[in-house]
Amino acid sequence: MAIADLPFDLSSLTVFLAVCDNGSMAAAARTLKVTQPAISQTIADLENRLGTTLFDRNVRPLALTPSGTVLRQYAQTMLAEVRLVATGIQKMRLGRVPQLRMGVVDSLARALSTSISDFMHERVGRLIVHAGLTETHATALLTRQIDCVIGVDEMEDVSGLERWPLFEEPYLLLYPEHETPPRDTAELRDFLGRHPFIRFSQRSRTGAEIERFLRRLRIDVPFQQEFDLPYGVYATCRTRGVAITTPLCLYEAGYTQGCGLSCHPLPTPAFHRRLTLVVRRREFGRFPLDLALFLREQLKQDVMPALGTLFPAFVEQMRVLS
């Protein structure tokens, strides 16, 4: 039984309008592909619930009563609104969202912000972008303070999320260009021991991954300074120090050739950073898929060429994912 005590239901209204439009219950039954008694009983039940007669059965074709005439108007309006509601919800499913709050890691702000703005303009009523660390974004996503995250996926063990891989890039050593870079793990350990190590915040996934990498190589590096933003790490290295970072981070920080710093691959095993679009499952229809496709295209068309120019030694290791 229906939980709610309602004077009618939408199915009954649909049947009622079909009878009005077709001129008889038998014809309405044929149109709706059910039997004629199904229509007869549905109309009788509707009349019972409304407490009034809707059709005059003593003439052929059926005639509407005054109550029936009034209900017909209401019913047409109401069913049109049902379609509007469904269409409105479906627009959201198909990508149109009224408000989107997104967390973007610092390293992508410069690379994507202009093109993201264009993409969002026709798809999102209101866009709110939070720059910051993935740790903060992860918490905010899980507590529904933001709706999606672009960054290093900090929530691989969390269910109920959708993930769209975007980009993969290698970590690299940033060092003064007049130095001789290390060629193996032993030389790297020695090299990092002889230079101040500037590291990313441990609250960031990137910083945490770098620490894990060094522990795997049994390199215990006392860091001299720690920064949240890629620019902070880069600017300090230009004064004194070395860092482990990525091409995108450097691109974001404004790195140029001739800035007095060089980039050197790290010793194996390969060590990469992956950027992912993360949203809660099934809340925005296909919007996240569209956004991911768009971001990949922007990375491929705009960002990759710029990175290729700046970091020719790393081109093979930077990939737009799918």
Positions touching DNA (CB under 7 A) are 1-3, 9, 11, 24-27, 33-38, 40-45, 57-62
Nearer to a copy of itself, 93 or 189 (CB): 93
Cα 190 from Cα 168, distance rounded (Å): 28
Return the SS3 of 217: coil
Nearer to a copy of itself, 88 or 260 (CB): 88
Nearer to a copy of itself, 240 or 281 (CB): 281
Residues of the shown chain interacting with a copy of itself in the complex, contacts defined by CB under 8 A: 2-4, 6-11, 14-15, 32, 34, 38, 42, 50-53, 56, 58-59, 63, 65-67, 69-71, 74, 77-78, 81-82, 85-86, 88-90, 92-93, 97-99, 142-144, 147, 160, 280-285
Cα 248 from Cα 318, distance rounded (Å): 10
Q: Using CB distances below 5 to 8 A depending on partner kind, what does residue 25 bind out of DNA, a copy of itself, none?
A: DNA
CB of 147 to a copy of itself, least distance (A): 7
Nearer to DNA, 25 or 210 (CB): 25
CB of 33 to DNA, least distance (A): 7
Nearer to a copy of itself, 31 or 309 (CB): 31
Q: Using CB distances below 5 to 8 A depending on partner kind, what does residue 185 bind out of DNA, a copy of itself, none?
A: none
Please tell me whether the peptide bond between 269 and the residue prior to it is cis, using omega within 30 degrees of 0: yes
Q: Using CB distances below 5 to 8 A depending on partner kind, what does residue 66 bind out of DNA, a copy of itself, none?
A: a copy of itself
Q: What angle do CA 276, 136, 168 make, to 5 degrees?
A: 20
Nearer to a copy of itself, 65 or 317 (CB): 65
Q: Using CB distances below 5 to 8 A depending on partner kind, what does residue 6 bind out of a copy of itself, DNA, none?
A: a copy of itself
Q: For the beta carbon of residue 321, count every other beta carbon within 10 angstroms.
A: 14
Nearer to DNA, 41 or 114 (CB): 41
Instruction: Tell which residue, 68, 85, 89, 59, has the closest CA to residue 13.
Output: 68
What token pair was written down for 70? Answer: 């009034």
Q: Using CB distances below 5 to 8 A depending on partner kind, what does residue 180 bind out of a copy of itself, DNA, none?
A: none
Q: Using CB distances below 5 to 8 A depending on partner kind, what does residue 88 bind out of a copy of itself, DNA, none?
A: a copy of itself
3-state SS record for 29-49: HHHHCCCHHHHHHHHHHHHHH
CB of 7 to DNA, least distance (A): 13
CB of 160 to DNA, least distance (A): 7
Residue showing tokens 């981070």: 249
Please tell me what DSSP assigns to residue 160.
Answer: S
CB of 268 to DNA, least distance (A): 34
Cα 163 from Cα 150, distance rounded (Å): 10
Nearer to DNA, 60 or 194 (CB): 60
64, exposed or middle or buried, with CB in 10 Å at 0-12, 13-18, 19+? middle
The DSSP bridge partners found for residue 105 are: 132
Q: In sequence order, what are the residues at sequence separation of 6 or more whose Cβ sits closer than 8 angstroms to the Cβ of residue 173?
A: 181, 182, 188, 242, 243, 244, 263, 264, 265, 266
CB of 48 to a copy of itself, least distance (A): 11
Residue showing tokens 């009523």: 125
